[in-house]
Structure formats: C-alpha cells, structure tokens
Amino acid sequence: MKMELHTALKKLGLHASEIAVYLYLLEHGPSTVIRIGKGTGILRTNCYGVLAKLAERELVEPASAHQPRTYTAMNPASLLRSVERSKQTIDAILPDLLNLYNDQANKPIIKFYEGKVHVKEIFYQMIGTRELVAFASTETLHALYPDFFTGKWQKEFREEGGTLRDILTIEGKNAAAQNMKSAMGDAYEYRLIPKDHRPLATDLLVWDDNVALLALAEPIFGTVINNKQMAETFRLMFELIWVSLPGV
C-alpha cells in the first residue's frame, strides 16, 4: 500500500524525502523534527528544508508554536487544491511558453563545415533521404572526391532507397554525370543548362528539410540549413528549372 502511495505522490511532483515525511505525519500525527528524523531516517537538519517545502504546498503545517515545535499533515484533500493551483499557473503561462516554442521551432538550424574532409561529411547526411535534388558542378565535385560518388556513397545511398536528380552546367562531355548514371541507373537523372552558362565551382543540394550550399574551390566550405520553408522554396526553384530543360 505504501509503495503505491509513494509512486502516486511521486507522480504529483513530490521528492522521496518529502513523501517520506508527509506519509510519516499522516500516519503518526503531530511530531517534532527529532521524531520525524528518527522515523524517516532523514537527517534532522534536512528535515527543516523538507518541512518548509511541504508547507509551501500546503500539505504540512506547524501544530504548535512552543518549543520543541511539532508539525502535522494537513487534510489530504489539500493535494487536490495543490494540483488545481499548479493547473492555474500552467494555464496562465502556457500562451507565453507556446510563443517561445513556436518562435524556436521556426528558426533555422545552421551548421558550417570547413575544409575538404568536413564538407565530405555533409554527403553522408543525405543517405536515407527519399530524394536528393541538386544544382551541381559534378565534374568539379568528382575531381575533388575521386571515385567517392560512383563507389561507396552511391551504393549506400541507393540501398537506403534514395534517388538523385542533378541540374548541371555543360562541362566537356559531362563524363562525371555519365559515370553516375552508369553506377546508379534509374536512381539518377540529370539535365543540362544551356552551354552559354559557364560552369560554377559550387553546389546547392536539397533533401528533406535541408539545404546545403557548398563552395568547391579554395577555401572549400559548406553550410547546411535545416528549415522546412527554405527547403520547400529551393525545391520549388529546382522543379521549375527542371521542367524547362530537355531530358538527356
């Protein structure tokens, strides 16, 4: 029975020492701090703090003003009043808490990556996505990480069910894109921007709620923005350009 009471009172926010003192007073009636300490095994010096916290909750009150002072448990119905006061407090502050939560939820999470090794780690984050779309400089990227995208990365990417679509500038015969197509098959498609647009040493990639901006010439760096609205905007831009370009 006591174990069940202990568990229930813990759910109401009481700590173990508070529960022990409260149950002791309910069972034994008015008691001095010395008796409470002996009966609960709590140090006498600690009992004063526990009793003060229980008094704040209106669960315990002094039973006498003379020394040594005795304490008694209040009617257990006071627990219900305590819960109702807590609910009123929560109701009062909930709108402000929700405003803080919503403001934070809409803030983008931005991470920066410096150097060739760290930028490479960004591509591992894309494994597991359903679809990755990119405005890519494939030749530059494959020259920077030889055999990476046609080897281990694309294998893991496809095994997790991912597909990739690239919008590319024309760079020679676009051999890197053709190699990706050979490695990934139907999981990879690309389209070419007209040749009067010069190649760029940058990549812009979109997957799930993420946008990655990569600079592939020294100094090499990358930025990943996690924000649903940003990702949806860049994905829309990609789709508008994609449908305007002929298939390869």
What CATH number is given to the structural domain containing 125?
3.30.870.10
- What average pLDDT does this structure show over 215-230? 93
For the cut 90, the answer to whether the pLDDT of residue 35 exceeds it is yes
146 cis-preceded (ω within 30 degrees of 0): no
Residue 86 resides in a domain: no
Domain with 16, as residue range(s), is 2-76
pTM for this one? 0.60
176 and 69 in one domain? no
pLDDT of residue 106: 66
130 and 237 in one domain? yes
Residue 81 resides in a domain: no
For the cut 70, the answer to whether the pLDDT of residue 124 exceeds it is yes
Residue 100 resides in a domain: no
Give per-residue pLDDT as tens, 86-119: 888 888 888 888 877 776 666 788 999 999 999 9
For the cut 70, the answer to whether the pLDDT of residue 210 exceeds it is yes
122 and 39 in one domain? no
The order of strands in the sheet holding 210-215 is 109-114, 221-226, 210-215, 202-207, 131-136, 163-168, 188-192
Residue 42 resides in a domain: yes
pLDDT of residue 224: 96
For the cut 70, the answer to whether the pLDDT of residue 1 exceeds it is no
Residue 149 resides in a domain: yes
DSSP letters spanning 63-100: S-SSSSPEEEEPPTTHHHHHHHHHHHHHHHHHHHHHHH
Residue 132 resides in a domain: yes
Higher per-residue pLDDT: 44 or 65: 44
Q: Closest Cα partner for 86 from 2, 14, 24, 25?
A: 14
- What average pLDDT does this structure show over 176-194? 92
- List, in sequence order, every residue forming a beta bridge with 167; answer none if it has no partner: 135, 191
246 cis-preceded (ω within 30 degrees of 0): no
232 and 118 in one domain? yes
Residue 72 resides in a domain: yes
How many distinct structural domains can be found in the chain?
2
Q: What are phi and psi of 134, to 5 degrees?
A: -155, 145
